[in-house]
Chain A
Amino acid sequence: MAVPKICGIETEFGIQAIAPGEQNPVTASSLLINAYVNHAQRKVDWDFVDETPGNDARGFAEESASPPEVETHLVNTVLTNGARFYVDHAHPEYSSPECTSAREVLLYDKAGEEILRRSMRAAEALYGDQGRIVVYKNNSDRKGNSYGCHENYLMDRQVPFSRVVKNITTHFVTRQIYTGAGKVGHETRLGEGMDPEFQLTQRAEFFEEEVGLETTLKRPIVNTRDEPHCDAQKYRRLHVIVGDANLSEVATFLKVGVTAAVLAMIEDDWLSKTDVSLAHPVKAIRQVSCDLTLSEPLDLASGRKATALELQWELFELARKYQLERGLACIGDEDSSNEVMVRWERVLETLERDPMELANQLDWVAKYRLLTAYAERHGIPLSSDRIAAMDLQYHDLRPAKSLYQRLGMERLVEEEQVIAAIDEPPHDTRAYFRGRCLKLWSSSITAANWDSLVFDLGTDPLRRVPMMDPLRGTAAHVDKLLEGCSSPAELLERLGS
């Protein structure tokens, strides 16, 4: 039986500092986050004790693979909504709290955008008229540099990792038809005969391997980082690096919801008998990204050929049977999981009929439609600087500058809920305990991590509260406990830590 698909999204944002003198992106990212934290809440540092990003899910480390560095000297903080907000490499990064459904992930992803907007405003107040920091939710600078938007899904440790790799790759390659954020042209050598004017995704061309531990070089379609941030005997965390950062709510919702459903099917071994393995996944991910007609057949390992759309239909049909026989409770509440199935089907139907009808739902379609309409009106080619500038500006998070916001795309969450999620943690995972404790007693919490909180009561040695199960520490578990405690000392006494 599939385990609940606790999930979250981490996004590295593009950053431009426009100021005299220092324009180092690391400094700008630190300034941005500090401006927000000093403005919004007391800073609580990240606890690095259990960080092991170099562990490989296949049970070994490749000699050529260089494990990612953990940068402990940069700004790194935890928010009252349970999220982590920090500097990663040279980017501000927001990691959503642990969520139980695609709808909840979407809500906390949108709250992250609003946190970045507030950060820009806080930084602007510091700079005065001397400069500003601008943040973009995209994945490349059009010059060959890419930064990520990673998804994370809780999985059963007992499921052999080789089965996950074998069965998820086709989904990662073919989901691009609705998850792509769109991009004009290309910035790497794509392969023979590939010179697209426009691609479905920002990220496809940066993937060079089928499976591996890397995230910054020779990026793999399936990433093997084995760092569960919870009980490693029971669970693994599938770290998915192959997606685009979406502004479209429908795209984020489907990206997470459908992937969670496919992973649940893999856990219950529903995909092993199907014949959808690709013959050349790395070539196929580029083929799909470059094919705006969605009609190019991909080579399957079996010798059969099928388009990305046909393969998504096959996965959908299996998921519908799975839903009928097993239910989809593991990917969230009934409303969210039913909506995943309904929207998945409708998006595939519409893509089949005419993708342009999805201009108010999917990023790549919205962007393509805007850029081609502008190019046509002004008689300029898609390869012109004006169009490239608009491509970047689609992702600008400033309300006055964002082209995405001008397009009036369909919303799945209410703005009021988004504003509440800036401060309030999800109620149904351990993020609730983390967020509530930070809200109540931030001055006594010296460090936090996904699976622990460290309290400093001023007298004893530091006290670490482990939170090894992402499903414990929910409102149902701890609300009474927290209400009954007047101090962190009392909480620790009751917890017996």
Chain B
Amino acid sequence: MAERELKKRSAPSRTDTEVEEEAAQGTQKADALKAEMDELLDEIDEVLEDNAEEFVRNYVQKGGE
């Protein structure tokens, strides 16, 4: 890992600030994603297959390729 970081410093494609900004944006994005996930979980039961056990049991495929 140290070796990699050294290499990255020797030829950075982006500055540290840019990388940090992206990390901050990443955190914001993660919060927004969590809110979206809660919303999705509220409504997802409507689309899920009715009988999970039977659905999983009946999903049988032949090997391919």
Chain A interfacial positions (CB closer than 8 Å to B): 12, 14-16, 25, 68, 88-91, 93, 140-143, 145-148, 150, 215-216, 219, 241, 310, 313-314, 317, 320, 345-346, 349-350, 353-354, 356-357, 359-360, 369-370, 373-374, 377, 384-386, 388-390, 392-393, 400-401, 403, 406-408
Contacts and interface: CB of A to CB of B under 8 A. Distances in A.
Nearest to A349: B19
B64 A310 contact: no
Contact of B52 (A90, A388, A400, A403): A388
B65 A357 contact: no
B35 to A, nearest CB: 12
Contact of A89 (B33, B44, B53, B65): B65
A320 B61 CA distance: 42
Contacts of A401: 47, 49
Contacts, number: 117
A90 B64 contact: yes
B47 A406 contact: yes
Contacts of A354: 26, 30
A146 B60 CA distance: 10
A135 to B, nearest CB: 11
Given A143-B60, A216-B63, A392-B59, 14 more contacts: A141-B59, A142-B59, A147-B63, A147-B64, A219-B65, A320-B11, A385-B52, A385-B53, A385-B56, A388-B56, A389-B56, A392-B56, A400-B47, A406-B44
B63 A146 contact: yes
A337 to B, nearest CB: 14
B11 A389 contact: no
B19 to A, nearest CB: 7
A77 B56 CA distance: 32
Nearest to B50: A389
A91 B64 contact: yes
A146 B64 contact: yes
B62 A310 contact: no
Q: Which of B29, B41, B62 has the most CB of A within 10 A?
A: B62
A313 B63 contact: no
A411 B53 CA distance: 33
B44 A359 contact: no
Contacts of B40: 370, 406-407
B64 A12 contact: yes
Contact of B62 (A91, A313, A317, A370): A91
Contact of A145 (B8, B44, B47, B60): B60
B41 A141 contact: no
A91 B61 contact: yes
A16 B41 CA distance: 26
A89 B13 CA distance: 47
Nearest to B25: A357
A90 B62 contact: yes
A113 B40 CA distance: 24
Contacts of A215: 65
Contacts of B47: 393, 400-401, 403, 406
A25 B41 contact: no
A349 B53 CA distance: 39
Given A90-B64, A146-B63, A241-B65, A357 B29 contact: yes
A400 B40 CA distance: 14
B58 interface: yes
Given A314-B4, A317-B7, A25 B62 contact: yes
A141 to B, nearest CB: 4
B33 A392 contact: no
Nearest to A390: B48
A90 B26 contact: no
Nearest to A223: B65
Contacts of B62: 25, 89-91, 145, 147
Interface-central residue, A141, A215, A401, by most chain B CB under 10 Å:
A141
Q: Which of B36, B40, B55, B63 has the most CB of A within 10 A?
A: B63
23 contacts: A15-B61, A16-B59, A68-B65, A91-B61, A141-B59, A145-B61, A145-B62, A146-B63, A147-B65, A216-B64, A241-B65, A345-B13, A353-B23, A353-B26, A354-B30, A357-B30, A373-B41, A385-B53, A386-B48, A388-B56, A389-B49, A389-B55, A406-B44
